[in-house]
Amino acid sequence: MIFVVVLSSPSGIALFTLITQTAFGFDIQSSNNVALYWGQNSAQASPQPPLKSYCNRPDVDILILSFIATLYSSEKIPILNLATPQCSPIPNSPGGQVTCPELAQDIEYCKTKGKKVLVSLGGATAGYEIQSSAEAEAAAKQIWDTYLGGGKDGVTVRPFGKVEVDGVDLDLETPAGQEGTYWPIFIDTIKSLYQSKAGRSGKTDYLITASPQCVYPDVILSPALKDKRSWFDMLFIQFYNNVCAPTNPTSFNFNEWAEWARSSSLNPSVKLFIGAPASPSAAPSGGFTPLESLLQVASEAMEDCENARVFWGGASVPTNSSSNYNPFGGIAFWDASWTTAEYTAATKTGLTTSWQWARSRNHIFKREDPADGEAKEAEAAESAADTVKRMRSRDTFRKTRASHRRHAIRRAHRHRR
C-alpha cells in the first residue's frame, strides 16, 4: 500500500512524500518503534476507534492502554478507566470494576499482528498513590493478578479474562512535586513476579515501562531512576507541556536522558522514546512539534546517541566499541485518537530513514586503520577529539539550562484529562 503524505516545512512549502507501507514487527532493539497511548480519546472522537483499528496499521508497534486510574481501597484493586464502549461496569463491584470482552479480543488480535499492548497506571487524576511498602507490594500483586500472568483461578476480577497484556507502564503525575518513595518497591515486586515460576511458565518477556516528564530526573520517579535503582525496559519521556520540549531547542534534553541510560540505568539496554503530542490540542500547555520538525529532532538525537556509543566511557578518541546499543527507541504519541494512518506511516518511514542515516555517518567517528599510516590516524584522532569536545560542550550547556529552569516548572497536571 502506498500513501502520499503531505508535510509542511518550516518555510510553509508542502512536501509530498511517497510512503510504501510494509509489515513491521515490534523489536525492542530497534530505533524506529512507534507507540500510541489509547483509551482516553482526548480528540473526543465519537465513538473512539477500537484498539483493533490501530493494530491494523503495520507501522504501529506499541499500544498503551490508558489508564488504570484508581487503586481502590487498602487492597489496591486496580480500576480501569477507558473512554470506550468496549468496556462496561460490573454491577455492585468494588470501586467500579469493568469487564471488557470485546477489548480482550482486540488485544489478542493485536498480538497476532506482532504488537505489544501495555496497560498504564496513572494519569492526571488522583487515586493511585501509594503510601507504604505494603501498599506498593499489594498494588503490584493486584496488577499482576488482574492484567498479567496471575489471578486466573476465577476469584480475581480480570477485565480481559484470561487475556494478558505485555506489561505495565507507570504514568505517575500525582501527588505533583513529591518523590515517589515507594514506587521502586512496586517495580521490584512486579519484576520478581515476572521472573517467578508462574511468570516463566507463561510469558517470558513482560515489560516495565514509564512515562516521566522530560525534566531530569522526573520528581515522582526520581527514586526509581537514580543509582541503578529500578528496572525499566522503555521510557516514553514526555517532551511536551514542559520547558524541555523540542520547541525550546536550547532546553531540549534528550542527551541528558541518554546519559542516564548509558551510565545510571539498571537495565544496560533500556530504550528511550520521544513522547510527543499528535496535535496542538493534545498538549494544552505547549510543546507540539510538526511532524517534519519532530523527525528532524529524532534524527539528531539518534545520531548523537550513535556518536556517543563510539566514544563510550568518555574516551578522547574513538573506541570502536563492538556494542550495537543505541538508547534511542522511537516516538510515542499522545494520543491515538489524534493520529491517522498516514501520520503514523510517515513517522515510521522517517525514523527508519534517520536510523539508516545515523548508522551510515558513523564511519567518520571510527578510528582509521593503522595500515593507512600514522599521520592519517593522528589526524582522525584529533578530529574525533574535537568532536567529543563539541558534544560535551553542548550537553553541558543543555544540562545547565535545564538545571536553572527546573525550579520554575509547574508540576500540576499538564496534558491528560
CATH assignment at residue 129: 3.20.20.80
- DSSP 8-state secondary structure symbol assigned to residue 213: B
pLDDT of residue 158: 97
Q: Quick check: is 96 in a domain? A: yes
The H or E element containing residue 131 is: none
Using CA atoms in the order 342, 346, 352, 357, what is the torsion angle rounded to 10 degrees?
160
pLDDT of residue 198: 72
Quote helix, strand, coil % in the chain, to nearest 5.
35, 20, 45
Residue (of 136, 123, 37) closest to 81 by Cα position: 123
Q: Higher model confidence: residue 403 or residue 129?
A: 129
Domain of 213 in residue numbering reads as 26-406
Give the total number of structural domains in the chain.
1
Which residue reads 498513590 in cell numbers? 129
Q: How far apart are CA 260 and CA 217, in angstroms?
A: 9
Q: Quick check: is 293 in a domain? A: yes
pLDDT at 196 over 60: yes
pLDDT at 387 over 70: no
Q: How far apart are CA 385 and CA 415, in angstroms?
A: 42
Burial class (CB in 10 A: 0-12, 13-18, 19+), 205: exposed
Q: Quick check: is 393 in a domain? A: yes
Out of 181-190, 316-325, 355-364, least confident range = 316-325
Q: Quick check: is 398 in a domain? A: yes
274-307 pLDDT, tens per residue?
999 999 999 999 999 999 999 999 999 999 998 8
**Phi and psi at residue 330, in whole multiples of 5°?**
150, -155
Q: Quick check: is 158 in a domain? A: yes
Q: Quick check: is 311 in a domain? A: yes
Percent of the chain residues past pLDDT 70, beyond the cut: 76
Residue 295, CA atoms < 13 Å, CB-side half-sphere: 23
HEC readout, 62-99: EEEEEEEEEEECCCCEEEECCCCCCCEECCCCCCCCEE
pLDDT of residue 362: 67
pLDDT of residue 312: 53
**For residue 404, what pLDDT band results from cuts at 50, 70 and 90?**
very low
Contact 160, 100 (CB under 8 A): yes
Task: Please state whether beta strands 98-99 and 207-210 pair in parallel, antiparallel, or not at all (unpaired).
Answer: unpaired
**For residue 7, what pLDDT band results from cuts at 50, 70 and 90?**
very low
pLDDT of residue 61: 98
pLDDT of residue 339: 98
pLDDT of residue 401: 41
pLDDT at 22 over 50: no
pLDDT at 206 over 80: yes
312-357 pLDDT, tens per residue?
554 444 444 446 789 999 999 999 999 999 999 999 999 999 988 8
Q: Quick check: is 225 in a domain? A: yes
As a whole number, the mean pLDDT across the chain is: 83
Has 173 been annotated as catalytic? Answer: yes
**For residue 170, what pLDDT band results from cuts at 50, 70 and 90?**
very high
Mean pLDDT of 153-182: 96
Q: Quick check: is 415 in a domain? A: no
Q: How far apart are CA 135 and CA 129, in angstroms?
A: 9
- DSSP 8-state secondary structure symbol assigned to residue 322: -
Q: How far apart are CA 280 and CA 241, in angstroms?
A: 11
Q: Which residue in 173, 256, 259, 303 is the catalytic one? A: 173
pLDDT of residue 202: 60
Percent of the chain residues past pLDDT 90, beyond the cut: 70
233-258 pLDDT, tens per residue?
999 999 999 999 999 999 999 999 99
CA distances for 414 relative to 75, 241, 289, angstroms: 29, 6, 16
Helix axis angle for 254-263 and 374-406, nearest 10°, is 110
- DSSP 8-state secondary structure symbol assigned to residue 49: P
pLDDT of residue 306: 87
